[in-house]
């Protein structure tokens, strides 16, 4: 669906850029033009979410009214109806002003895309507008204690009983499950089949028999949970797609998850590394960063990061015309994960001894150290780097793999 302004030519796209810039300047509160420094600064949405400020609430609501929390979704489901080019312009103009993303969660990142492709019309009408307005937050019920990287070995069972399923089992690493309203879940509906015995089910977290338990991490934060299902009754209408056809939906959703993980710092607008390092290390007599080895490492990183951004843009353009290789998100996820870790390594190096402080005002309560620890999971979540390399070998390079 097209936006209100046709963008068939460069001139029309520039007109869209001007009106977008004017609107952002008039509507983005100044408080929302500073980078997020913690999870608390991110607007996750959902029934249990508490806004950190009136500015955060205004920003999310104003963007949602235009459909720009999910700019490329169709308007009838709460989206902005923008073309890919228009969405890129919107992202560029937001970055130029330093605007924070107005809303971030699994619904906007990946579940909505899967529902647009595989959901019934009733599913789309019921769930997508709530996601777009930030009124509901979704958890992802994929990994299990015995089925992480080998996801198809999952054992959480859903037995059919007339008009409902009865679900029993356990999920793990369910991010923020204790704060979510709903969970999209892979369940075993045919024990005799591996990939073709899995279904995709939508479960209300308030249903009797659903409970969560946080997992404490070394960073001191706890975004992950274990989620348990004990005789949970789920309406048959909450099945997405056909019975035992959930694996196809799961694979499609995973491509969006890997694209999301790979581009995570694009959305969170991290500070330029060079500027960050100069503020902490200082300049030499030639006005350069006064640390030659670090200067070289940052230059190499920023070249690689620019190439990665170009790769992301190319993948998006190829997706629009149906020519994207479905294995590319695995490569993007692998490379984006490595970049995330490299960025944090360099920030720690620039921070010096201050970066090692865990609890003090000088270190802002250890924000660098905690963020560095948090970044280590980038090559594990959404599929480990080892799994990604195996998929790249088999599906992109045509090798036998392991």
Question: Rounded distance, CA 5 to CA 19, Å?
Answer: 10
156 within 8 A of 186, measured Cβ to Cβ? yes
Dihedral of CA 103/104/106/111: which sign? positive
Radius of gyration for the chain, computed over Cα atoms and rounded to the nearest angstrom: 22
Contacts of 192 (CB under 8 A, 6+ apart): none
Q: List the chain pLDDT tens, one digit each, 402 residues.
A: 444 444 456 888 999 999 999 999 999 999 999 877 777 789 999 999 999 999 999 999 999 999 999 999 999 999 999 998 899 899 889 988 989 999 999 999 889 999 999 999 999 999 999 999 999 999 999 989 887 767 788 999 999 998 999 999 999 989 899 999 999 999 999 988 888 999 999 999 999 999 999 988 776 667 889 999 999 999 999 999 999 999 999 888 877 776 666 555 455 556 678 888 998 899 999 999 999 999 999 999 999 988 988 888 788 777 767 777 878 888 888 888 888 899 999 999 999 888 888 777 777 778 888 888 888 877 887 778 888 888 888 888 888 755
DSSP per residue over 266-312, as a string?
HHT-PPPHHHHHHHHH-B-TTSSBS-HHHHHHHHHHHHHHHHHHHHH
Q: Which of 81, 94, 127 is CA-nearest to residue 28?
A: 94
State the pLDDT at residue 219. Answer: 64
Structural domains of the chain, ranges and CATH numbers in brackets: 1-104 (1.10.540), 138-244 (2.40.110.10), 269-397 (1.20.140.10)
Phi, psi of 381 (to 5 degrees): -65, 150
CA 126, 127, 133 angle in degrees (round to 5)?
115
State the pLDDT at residue 56. Answer: 96
The verdict on pTM exceeding 0.95 is no
State the pLDDT at residue 111. Answer: 93
State the pLDDT at residue 3. Answer: 44
Contacts of 101 (CB under 8 A, 6+ apart): 42, 43, 94, 267, 268, 269
Q: Which residues face 224 on adjacent strands?
A: 215
Question: Rounded distance, CA 208 to CA 229, Å?
Answer: 9
Phi, psi of 202 (to 5 degrees): -105, 125
State the pLDDT at residue 262. Answer: 56
State the pLDDT at residue 242. Answer: 94
State the pLDDT at residue 263. Answer: 58
Cα separations (Å) of 275 from 97, 271, 288, 289, 347?
Answer: 17, 7, 11, 9, 11
């Amino acid at each position: 669906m097209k936006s209100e302004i046709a963008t068939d030519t460069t001139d029309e796209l520039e007109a869209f850029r001007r009106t977008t810039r004017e609107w952002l300047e008039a509507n983005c509160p100044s408080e929302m033009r500073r980078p997020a420094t913690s999870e608390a600064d991110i607007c996750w949405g959902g029934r249990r979410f508490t806004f950190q400020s009136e500015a955060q609430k205004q920003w999310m609501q104003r963007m949602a009214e235009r459909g720009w929390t999910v700019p490329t979704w169709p308007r009838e489901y709460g989206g902005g109806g923008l073309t890919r080019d228009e969405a890129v312009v919107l992202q560029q103009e937001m970055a130029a002003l330093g605007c924070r993303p107005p809303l971030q969660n699994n619904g906007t990142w990946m579940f909505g895309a899967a529902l647009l492709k595989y959901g019934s019309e009733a599913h789309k009408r019921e769930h997508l507008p709530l996601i777009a307005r930030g009124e509901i937050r979704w958890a992802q019920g994929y990994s299990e204690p015995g089925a992480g990287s080998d996801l198809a070995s999952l054992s959480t069972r859903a037995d059919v009983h007339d008009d409902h399923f009865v679900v029993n089992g356990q999920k793990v690493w369910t991010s923020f499950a204790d704060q979510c309203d709903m969970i999209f879940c892979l369940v075993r509906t045919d024990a005799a089949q591996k990939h073709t015995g899995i279904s995709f089910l939508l479960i209300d977290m308030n249903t009797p028999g659903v409970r969560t338990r946080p997992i404490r991490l070394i960073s001191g934060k706890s975004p992950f949970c274990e989620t348990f299902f004990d005789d949970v009754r789920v309406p048959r209408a909450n099945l997405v797609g056909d019975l035992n056809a959930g694996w196809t939906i799961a694979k499609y959703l995973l491509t969006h998850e890997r694209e999301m993980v790979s581009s995570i710092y694009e959305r969170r607008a991290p500070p330029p590394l060079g500027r960050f390092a100069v503020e902490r290390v200082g300049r030499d007599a030639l006005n350069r960063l006064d640390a030659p080895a670090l200067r070289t490492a940052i230059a190499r990183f920023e070249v690689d990061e620019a190439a990665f951004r170009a790769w992301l843009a190319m993948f998006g353009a190829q997706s629009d015309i149906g020519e994207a290789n479905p294995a590319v998100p695995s490569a993007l996820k692998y490379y984006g994960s490595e970049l995330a870790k490299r960025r944090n390594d360099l920030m720690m190096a620039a921070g010096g001894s201050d970066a090692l402080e865990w609890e003090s005002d000088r270190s802002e309560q250890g924000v660098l150290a905690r963020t560095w620890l948090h970044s280590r999971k980038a090559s594990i979540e959404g599929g480990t780097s080892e799994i990604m390399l195996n998929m790249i070998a088999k599906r992109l390079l045509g090798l036998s793999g392991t």
